[in-house]
Structure 1
Amino acid sequence: MQAELFIDGGVGFFPGLARPIVLDENTLSAPEREELAQLVSAARGAPAGTTAAARKAVPDGRAYRIRLTAGDATTEFSCADPSVPPSFAALMSFIKAHGSR
């Protein structure tokens, strides 16, 4: 599985310079792969929709998107400030800590 974290917006955002943080599970140790699998399962189990108030744009807010690719299957999760679910935040933190640009 490969995970890509895309971050858009925020103060000083330059679209041309924004590259995703990429994580290939083959570079992880066995315990880290297990942790990643648990985080992905938690993110998949989180409620899919958000209220209209939560989707309202925040000045200088960021939008986040995680794309998971396993074989031919691709899954995407997305959210934006200020409504980042805890399961999404945990997966995003793991990708930031173990991935690279």
Structure 2
Amino acid sequence: MACLIAAGCMTDNAQNEELPMQAELFIDGGVGFFPGLARPIVLDENALSADERDELARLASAARAEPAAPRAAASKPVPDGRSYRIRIAFADGTKELSCADPSVPPAFAALMAFIKAHGHR
């Protein structure tokens, strides 16, 4: 699990091999949220078909490139709104993306839906 959050945790034999992409989706808040019971949804590209790996790479690249949703200073918090974080371990390091209801960017939402559909707790 340490490779999910730490960059550069390859063994000596794997220094020149590309790390498989891994992602964790964290969802906080919402109705009936219990922090102690909340576990991330984890997705490892090794568990995916070749087409699904390509789709994951495309979605992750799009989400990385998409600018964060602007937060309006005057907007009120959404009652029982959720916040979302996706931590992605790439071969070149780890990136964490985050947003909250109601401002979920489209590429982030697409990546989140893919992780939910193909990942596990």
TM-score surpassing 0.5?
A: yes
User: How does 1:6-21 map onto structure 2 within 5 Å?
Assistant: 6-21=26-41
2:111 corresponds, among 74, 91, 97, to: 91
CA distance in 2, matches of 1:58, 1:75: 26
TM superposition shift of 1:62 = 0.2
- RMSD across aligned positions (CA): 1.7
CA distance in 1, matches of 2:45, 2:111: 13
User: How does 1:66-77 map onto structure 2 within 5 Å?
Assistant: 66-71=86-91, 73-77=93-97
After superposing on structure 2, the runs of 4+ consecutive aligned residues of structure 1 that deviate more than 6 Å are none
1:2/1:22 contact within 8 Å kept:
yes
CA 1:74/1:41 → structure 2, altered by over 3 Å: closer, same or farther? Answer: same
CA 1:55/1:86 → structure 2, altered by over 3 Å: closer, same or farther? Answer: farther
CA distance in 1, matches of 2:102, 2:64: 20
- Report the equivalent of 1:23: 43
CA distance in 1, matches of 2:60, 2:75: 22
1:54/1:83 contact within 8 Å kept:
no
Taking structure 1 as the reference length, what is the TM-score of the superposition?
0.92
1:78 and 2:98 are equivalent in the alignment: yes
CA distance in 1, matches of 2:76, 2:83: 11
- Report the equivalent of 1:50: 70
The superposition leaves residues 79-99 of structure 1 with CA deviations (integer Å, 9 ceiling, x where unpaired) of 000000110000000000000
CA distance in 2, matches of 1:45, 1:72: 15
Report the structure, 1 or 2, having the larger strand content: 1
Bigger Rg, structure 1 or 2: 2
For structure 1, which runs of at least 5 residues remain unmatched after alignment?
A: none
Tell me the matched-pair count: 101
